[in-house]
């Protein structure tokens, strides 16, 4: 079994760590708020006191918030590219394609291995090993990390570049961002005409869109006071998609509008 560190023990990171422990791996964990590791410690997690200690491992799984968190914690503070050539970094964080390229280049120059492995699925799927693991990087590195990744769910190879996995994750999240905004505006129209928003959601989720996404967010929007609008949790990916498209010379107007609107 592998020696693994998980950095970022929030809902998803904590569930990933728990799944790896259940699968028989040796798991270290690091989180700024140490109390988040308490329950996992009872299950066998070894708590790393510093990020540098966490990076001293065979496989490093990062489940952080965004590009800035990766840059600040791993690159600037932990100096991850100096962690030794045995390291294999598996980045679950939804990051920009530019940062994926920077990490890939940095790890390669350091003689380390790197895969972008963003996932589709929530903590419940992580606990049950049912995540969809979008994987970008060299095939030999995927094979090296296969046992770890298969503990988490189904591996989907996006391409030989880490950027390919991040582009796929960004695009998927952008679709959800756009779907949420179209759902919001559709419910606003129905409500303005004195229609029943709950009934509208019931109809579309039983006919046009029988998906849990539309049911979950439709119910939340239909029962919400318009004075307190529901934040769009996928808006950051719309911004990443817009910026990624711009860097490639692509005009992605829907992504741009959603990112400019914000939450």
Q: What is the DSSP string of 178-226?
A: HHHHHHHHHHHHHHHTT--HHHHHHHHHHTT---HHHHHHHHHHHTS-T
Let me know how long the chain is. Answer: 263
Q: Are residues 42 and 151 in the same domain?
A: yes
Whether residues 17 and 75 share a domain: the answer is yes
* Tokens found for residue 163: 């950027």
What lies within 8 Å, CB to CB, of 68 at 6+ separation is none
For residue 250, give the 3-state DSSP assignment. coil
| Domain-terminating residue out of 95, 130, 160 | 160
Phi, psi of 102 (to 5 degrees): -60, -45
Structural domain including 174 reads 167-261
Whether 133 and 171 map to the same domain: the answer is no
241 Cα distance to chain centroid: 14
Tell whether 226 and 127 lie within a shared domain. no
Domain match, 244 and 182 both: yes
195 shares a domain with 111 = no
Q: In the prediction, which pLDDT does 204 show?
A: 98
| pLDDT values of the chain reduced to their tens digit, one per residue, 263 residues | 899 999 999 999 999 999 999 999 999 999 999 898 999 999 999 999 999 999 999 999 999 999 999 999 999 999 999 999 999 999 999 999 999 999 999 999 999 999 999 999 999 999 999 999 999 999 999 999 999 999 999 999 999 999 999 999 999 999 999 999 999 999 999 999 999 999 999 999 999 999 999 999 999 999 888 778 899 999 999 999 999 999 999 999 999 999 998 76
| Domain co-membership, 125 together with 223 | no
Q: What is the pLDDT of residue 162?
A: 97
Four-point Cα dihedral 212, 225, 235, 129, nearest 10: -30
| Domains of the chain: total | 2
**130 and 175 housed in the same domain:** no
Give me the CATH number covering residue 243.
1.10.1040.10
Residues 120 and 185 in one domain: no
Tell me the CA distances in angstroms from 164 to 17, 101, 161, 170, 262, one per residue in order: 25, 10, 6, 10, 25
Nearest residue to 152 (alpha-carbon basis) of 7, 5, 9, 21: 21
**CATH number, domain with residue 93:** 3.40.50.720
Q: How many CA atoms lie within 13 A of 62 on its CB side?
A: 29
How much is the pTM? 0.94
What is the β-pairing status of strands 119-120 and 88-91? unpaired
Domain boundary residue, one of 109, 139, 160: 160
For residue 224, the model assigns a pLDDT of 87
pLDDT value for 263: 67
One domain, residues 111 and 174: no
Say what the pLDDT of residue 226 is: 78
User: Within a 10 A sphere around the Cβ of 133, how many other Cβ atoms?
Assistant: 25
Q: Name the domain boundary from 143, 160, 177.
A: 160
Q: Please check whether residues 233 and 139 belong to one and the same domain.
A: no
Enter the tokens of residue 92. 């679950």
| Residue pair 217/183 in contact by the 8 Å Cβ criterion | yes
236 and 204, same domain (yes or no): yes
């Amino acid at each position: 079994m592998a020696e693994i560190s998980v950095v970022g023990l929030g809902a998803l990171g904590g569930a990933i760590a728990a799944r790896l422990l259940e699968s028989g791996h040796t798991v270290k964990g690091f989180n700024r708020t140490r109390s988040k590791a308490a329950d996992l410690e009872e299950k066998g997690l070894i708590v790393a006191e510093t990020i540098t200690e966490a990076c001293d491992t065979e496989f490093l799984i990062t489940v952080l918030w965004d590009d800035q968190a990766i840059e600040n914690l791993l690159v600037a503070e932990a100096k991850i590219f100096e962690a030794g050539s045995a390291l294999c970094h598996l980045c679950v964080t939804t990051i920009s394609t530019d940062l994926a390229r920077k990490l890939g280049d940095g790890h390669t120059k350091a003689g380390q291995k790197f895969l972008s492995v963003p996932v589709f699925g929530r903590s419940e799927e992580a606990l049950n090993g049912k995540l969809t693991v979008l994987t970008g990087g060299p095939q030999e590195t995927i094979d090296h990390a296969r046992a770890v990744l298969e503990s988490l769910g189904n591996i989907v190879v996006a391409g030989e570049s880490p950027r390919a996995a991040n582009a796929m994750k960004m695009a998927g999240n952008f679709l959800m961002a756009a779907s949420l905004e179209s759902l919001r505006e559709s419910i606003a129209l129905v409500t303005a005409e004195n229609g029943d928003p709950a009934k509208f959601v019931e109809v579309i989720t039983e006919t046009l869109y029988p998906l849990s996404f539309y049911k979950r967010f439709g119910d939340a929007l239909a029962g919400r006071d318009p004075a307190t609008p529901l934040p769009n949790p996928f808006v950051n990916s719309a911004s990443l998609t817009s910026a990624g498209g711009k860097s490639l010379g692509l005009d992605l107007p829907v992504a741009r509008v959603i990112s400019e609107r914000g939450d």
